[in-house]
Amino acid sequence: MDENKPIEAIVCKACGGEPRLSAQCKVCGGAGIGVASTDGFLVWEERVDEFMIMLRKARRQINAFFHLALLAIVLIFLSLFAWQVSKLEDLTGLRTIAFWFSGHWYVTLFWFACFIGTFLIFRLSEYSSESKDLPNWGKTHRQLEQEEKSAAKKALFRFDVAPYFSPAARDVVESAYNLAKKLQRTEVTPQTLFAAALASPSGGIFMVRLGMQFDAVKGPITNVLMADDAGNPPVHLSRDAKKVLSLAYADARANQRRHVEVMEIFLQAFKNSPKIQDLLDQLGFPPEHVVHVGEWIRLRSKLKEDHDRFQALAALKPKNTMNRAMTAQQTPLLDRFSEDLTLLARNGYIAPVIGRKKQMEEMLRGIESGRRSLVLVGEPGSGKTALVEELARMMVEENVPPELFDKRLVSVNIAQVVAAGDPGMAAERFLSLMHEVGVSGNIVLVMNNIESLTGAGLSGPMDLAEMLASELDKGYLLAICTTTPQAWTRYIERRSLANKLIKINIPETDYEETIKVLMARSGLIEYENKVYFSYAALDKAAALSERFVHEKASPERALDIIREAAVLARKSRGEKTFVSADDVAKVVHEKTNIPVESMTTSETSKLMNLEQKLHERVIGQDEAVRAVARALKRARAELREGKRPIANFLFLGPTGVGKTELTKALAAEYFGSEEAMVRLDMSEYQDKASVYRVIGAPGDDRGGLLTEAVRNKPYTIVLLDELEKAHPDILTLFLQVMDDGRLTDGVGRTVDFTNVMLIATSNAGTQFIQDEVSKNVPLEKIKSGLLENELKGIFRPEFLNRFDGVIVFKPLTMDDVNQIAWLMINGIAKRLAEKGMNFRAEDAAVEELAKEGFDPLYGARPLRRVIQERVDTALADLMLQGQVGRKDTLILEPGGNIRVEKAPQL
């Protein structure tokens, strides 16, 4: 049955499913609404009211009492018998038939006890379990297929689902009734069922996993319930509630559960109640999270059931390397270089795989198609090994094609085989191994990373790939190999080995699949670390790893993160704690240096004050500062598109007006330090060949300057200084970075640029800017003039178009330079304060310096020189002459004079 197919409910035409009318309806017999299924037309026929609740309770108690009474009678009779027998002086009589038919009262009682005992067995097997097993529970594939065939006949009959509900699930239905009655509602709705399921013990587990506080949701849910129709008893099950219960049965059936459990009611009630969905969404629990957590709890109990079945089957598999037919031979050399995966699986060391059905089918089909071997091609961490391990588990269960029956899966360590260093020796060893595999005949070989057979990464002519190809050609062995897409293309694809292998692509798991894998595997991690995962932690790990971690493929990278987060949580808060989304975020932050945690108040205020902070360092460039600060706010609030860099800016303007300074200030204020940037002076990249310096030469594992820097530090500023000087081919590279947020390096690795802020500076059009500014043309007009005319010959329009902002830095005014002079003087004061001296300047002195250093052509740079010459040099002289000591105050006076005020003697 397709699990994703929505199941439609069918409403009784006679009564329309209206609860009051359907109670008397002859057509549907009170059901009102139902769901078509293989078992028949699923309906909830049982009445739910006080009397029935009481009857069920009474029935349970009376049955228990009755069984206890029967047991007591049996025990008393047997005790009396034993007591009488113990009084006999001669026990030899017991061996005679005559004794057992002697008619003595205690012998009679003994036989009655035996008879009542059989009655008790009958009672216990028929009446102690309150719920029936689902018809498809524990059935094999074939049996189920046959059932599906006869479904058409059954579908004509009504099928009451109530007896299949577990006692806990029954309790939920009854407490939903009680809840509706207590709140004086006329109907039990899906909302009521949801509330009752949430208040049950299973609901408790659910809330803990989801991170939901019952007290926090109790009020809002009650409000939703109060919106249902009010009225006096009798309370009926609404049409939708009946639908939910029928669907819960269908759900349990689709998942091959033994009984309908609370989680099925819970999930179906949720899926069929838009009001509850909206409410929980509003409270911060999106519908997909709620459904995932419900499925998670179910998956856990299903894994337990599967485990029990696996254990029983594993007992049949041999405990050693011999197969069951005993045709195999000892393989001492192979055992030395390998690991028996079937044996590991048999002994319970291999966890089951969730999902990956398509790839597994492809694998089995490949094996069945004839004696051809397979190669699984996927990125490291995409789950190739897990898939092979799952095959080992299936081989333990013997749930495999005949080609794999009664065989063992052996993983050869190729690195050890070729470790001899001497090619001749490695080849000899390899052939001996193959020989053992051949004569043993019960071995399926697993070879991870077969590119190492070709000598990849090794020096010297170590190449066993051809040898393996010719051995595979002989057809006596079946091998399952793994490799990465890069290695496949580079080392294997064009060789004869490739023709001998059926290629199966193992793509990365997507978010949904990753979450499922995390759900399945988290149990073991929880057990090892004695912590519990909240759903938010798994969700965050899946989402963040997909976005920010690029060294490995999913699901491995997400698993790595939750493993580390579990250790972090245990170490910081001790055992029995919950691993939260913040723990996961912390781990991702430490790994990637990208702040992914939810924003703290200090960070929020930092971000809000960013503009002001930047203004303190960069003078006179209001527009530029504003644009940059805004881009960063958008990035941190996750409002930007995820597929591009945080922002792409082009800073235009004359030299010395603060383009680089603003970038540095930003790096210092937000990215941690002034050095938190990758700076490329494009004047060094003027020829065509320098492309390779940026992204690395083809095949060179060291990668390029830019790609490696960003790969190692993905959260950074990339500053491209003097962009106009770069070779056009390099600019073309950046087209892709700005548009897609990624760049492929020389070896084919894709480097993520989505957490980078790309800033390019250029002096192009400086003359135009200066001329226009002197003519008092507004900045906006200058910018359009630049874009339309001046820059056309320098940058291609599509390149300019990709910048989020082209920001024109205007030439500095006298006033600006004055402020900058003060900044510089304050910088000197700071440096002197470190030496224990005080420094201050008189206004006139600073104005004098600013006037001297003002040059509309060169911006603030001449000012720096003036200050260096006038102030720094004078200070150095004073210090070298020993005229100034600690605690003294230096005062800069007009005319470049520096006065020393000695500190009072203590």
Contact stretch for other proteins (CB under 8 A) within 106-114, 551-559, 575-583, 722-730: 106-114
* Closer of 101 and 349 to other proteins (Cβ): 101
Q: Does 83 bind other proteins (CB under 8 A)?
A: no
Could you write out the DSSP letters of every residue in 739-762?
HHSEEE-TTSPEEE-TTEEEEEEE
State in angstroms the smallest separation of the CB of 327 from other proteins. 5
State in angstroms the smallest separation of the CB of 108 from other proteins. 4
**Candidate residues 10, 112, 449, 630; the one interacting with other proteins per rule CB under 8 A:** 112
Q: Does 233 bind other proteins (CB under 8 A)?
A: yes
SS3 447: strand
Q: How far is CA 161 from CA 46, 188, 253, in A?
A: 9, 17, 11
State in angstroms the smallest separation of the CB of 43 from other proteins. 17
Contact stretch for other proteins (CB under 8 A) within 121-129, 455-463, 475-483, 800-808: 121-129
Contact stretch for other proteins (CB under 8 A) within 96-104, 784-792, 799-807, 880-888: 96-104
End-to-end CA distance of the chain: 93
**Are the CB atoms for 726 and 682 separated by under 8 Å?**
yes
How many residues touch other proteins under the rule CB under 8 A: the total is: 45
* Closer of 176 and 235 to other proteins (Cβ): 235
Q: Does 107 bind other proteins (CB under 8 A)?
A: yes
Cα 903–chain centre separation: 63
**Candidate residues 220, 352, 423, 441; the one interacting with other proteins per rule CB under 8 A:** 441
State in angstroms the smallest separation of the CB of 234 from other proteins. 7
* Closer of 65 and 349 to other proteins (Cβ): 65
**Candidate residues 52, 88, 230, 689; the one interacting with other proteins per rule CB under 8 A:** 52
**Are the CB atoms for 257 and 29 separated by under 8 Å?**
no
Please list the residues that pair with 43 across neighbouring strands.
Answer: 34, 160
**Helix (H) / strand (E) containing 345:** helix 341-346
SS3 828: helix
Identity of the residue numbered 526: E
* DSSP for residue 492: I
Q: What is the distance between the alpha carbons of residues 177 and 654, in angstroms, rounded to a whole number? A: 78
The total of other beta-carbon atoms located within 10 Å of residue 732's CB is 13
Q: Tokens for 563, please give them.
A: 């493993």
* Closer of 111 and 349 to other proteins (Cβ): 111
* Closer of 59 and 781 to other proteins (Cβ): 59
**Are the CB atoms for 252 and 134 separated by under 8 Å?**
yes
**Candidate residues 86, 118, 601, 881; the one interacting with other proteins per rule CB under 8 A:** 118
State in angstroms the smallest separation of the CB of 424 from other proteins. 27
Classify burial at 445, counting beta carbons within 10 Å of its beta carbon; exposed 0-12, middle 13-18, buried 19 or more: buried
**Candidate residues 1, 36, 47, 603; the one interacting with other proteins per rule CB under 8 A:** 47
State in angstroms the smallest separation of the CB of 49 from other proteins. 8
Residue numbers 350-389 binding other proteins by CB under 8 A:
none
Pairing of strands 716-721, 501-505: unpaired
State in angstroms the smallest separation of the CB of 440 from other proteins. 7
* Closer of 405 and 692 to other proteins (Cβ): 405
Could you write out the DSSP letters of every residue in 619-653?
-S-HHHHHHHHHHHHHHHTT-S-TTS-SEEEEEE-
Classify burial at 577, counting beta carbons within 10 Å of its beta carbon; exposed 0-12, middle 13-18, buried 19 or more: middle
Q: What is the distance between the alpha carbons of residues 594 and 610, in angstroms, rounded to a whole number? A: 18
State in angstroms the smallest separation of the CB of 98 from other proteins. 11
SS3 72: helix
Contact stretch for other proteins (CB under 8 A) within 175-183, 209-217, 439-447, 628-636: 439-447
State in angstroms the smallest separation of the CB of 569 from other proteins. 44
**Candidate residues 79, 96, 102, 605; the one interacting with other proteins per rule CB under 8 A:** 102
**Candidate residues 122, 214, 865, 873; the one interacting with other proteins per rule CB under 8 A:** 122
**What count of residues does the chain have?**
906
**Are the CB atoms for 514 and 356 separated by under 8 Å?**
no
State in angstroms the smallest separation of the CB of 131 from other proteins. 15
Q: Does 126 bind other proteins (CB under 8 A)?
A: yes
Closest CA to 88 of 112, 107, 116: 107
**Helix (H) / strand (E) containing 532:** strand 532-533
Instruction: Map residues 323-342 to x or -, x wherever contact with other proteins holds by CB under 8 A.
Output: -xxxxxxx------------
Q: Does 230 bind other proteins (CB under 8 A)?
A: no
Please list the residues that pair with 650 across neighbouring strands.
Answer: 760, 806
**Candidate residues 127, 476, 578, 858; the one interacting with other proteins per rule CB under 8 A:** 127
Q: Does 21 bind other proteins (CB under 8 A)?
A: no
Q: What is the distance between the alpha carbons of residues 851 and 607, in angstroms, rounded to a whole number? A: 35
* Closer of 127 and 511 to other proteins (Cβ): 127
State in angstroms the smallest separation of the CB of 337 from other proteins. 20
* Closer of 134 and 710 to other proteins (Cβ): 134
SS3 14: coil
State in angstroms the smallest separation of the CB of 25 from other proteins. 13
Contact stretch for other proteins (CB under 8 A) within 101-109, 538-546, 664-672, 849-857: 101-109
**Are the CB atoms for 694 and 704 separated by under 8 Å?**
yes
**Candidate residues 1, 18, 21, 63; the one interacting with other proteins per rule CB under 8 A:** 63
Dihedral angle sign, alpha carbons of residues 625, 631, 634, 638: negative
Q: Tokens for 346, please give them.
A: 């048999």
Cα 136–chain centre separation: 33
Q: What is the distance between the alpha carbons of residues 821 and 809, in angstroms, rounded to a whole number? A: 18
Cα 649–chain centre separation: 32
**Candidate residues 75, 82, 91, 316; the one interacting with other proteins per rule CB under 8 A:** 316
Q: Does 55 bind other proteins (CB under 8 A)?
A: yes
**Candidate residues 27, 57, 72, 105; the one interacting with other proteins per rule CB under 8 A:** 105
* Closer of 52 and 415 to other proteins (Cβ): 52
**Candidate residues 20, 104, 530, 688; the one interacting with other proteins per rule CB under 8 A:** 104
Closest CA to 500 of 375, 633, 651: 375
Contact stretch for other proteins (CB under 8 A) within 320-328, 448-456, 661-669, 750-758: 320-328
State in angstroms the smallest separation of the CB of 443 from other proteins. 12
Q: What are the residues whose beta carbons fall under 8 Å from the beta carbon of 159, sequence distance 6 or more?
A: 37, 39, 40, 41, 42, 43
Query: Which residues sit at the interface with other proteins, rule CB under 8 A?
Result: 23, 47, 50-52, 55, 59, 62-63, 66, 100-105, 107-108, 111-112, 114-115, 117-119, 122-123, 125-127, 233-234, 315-316, 324-330, 406, 439-441
